Amino acid sequence: MYCPVRNRVRRRGVRSVCLVKGRPEPPGWAHDRTIRASTAGYRTTFTQRFSCTPLGARLARHLALAQLHTWGIPHGTPPSDAAATIVGELTANAVTHGRVPGRDFELRLTHAPSVLLRIEVSDTRTERRPPGPADLAPSLPSLDEAGRGLFLVDALADRWEVLDRVSGGVALPGKTARVELDLPPA
């Protein structure tokens, strides 16, 4: 059979699914995207790198919502809406304040069903570190169009922090904003 996305002939013994209309795709064909979904015990992780542009931030929010929906957190529910706002704010901050030419930002979602949703956004800029939750000073409402993103994150998140960027126990340049949302029991 022919797969129009890959312009290749499919063989029997399919195990994965092609990106278009659920058509099967032979094992060993990797997608061009760097999506990695792994299950470690009870947690499921989604990781994706995006270009450090406004379009990348928008795509990160849309893919995060799609992934939450596949994990059983439907669109329009309070956890989904909170996660959409948090991902939108953190990715916008990564694009606006954490941009390094030629470098991407990374979105990582970790889901423990009926327990926790962790959202992590990492960028490669080290010198512009946002304030942590303890450093946010309450201010009077202003008419500025910018500067309220972390206040939204603080209001919606159960826990959040800004960490040095680490991957596999190795320190990397940059920072990671980690947000945790407690999920209601099923």
Packing angle of the helix pair 78-97, 149-156 (nearest 10 deg): 150
Q: Where are the alpha helices (DSSP H) in 75-170?
A: 78-97, 149-156
- Would you list the domain boundaries of the chain? 1-30, 33-135+144-182
pLDDT in tens, 61-89: 999 999 999 999 999 999 999 999 999 99
CATH architecture type of domain 33-135+144-182: 2-Layer Sandwich (3.30)
Write down the pLDDT at residue 137: 63
Tell me the chain's radius of gyration from C-alpha atoms. 18
**Is residue 160 within a helix (H) or strand (E), and if so which, with residue range?**
strand 159-167
* pLDDT tens-place string over residues 98-149: 777 778 899 999 999 889 999 999 988 877 777 677 666 666 556 555 667 8
Partner residues linked to 36 by β-bridges:
47
Predicted TM-score (pTM) of this structure: 0.72
Give the position of tokens 């926790």: 116
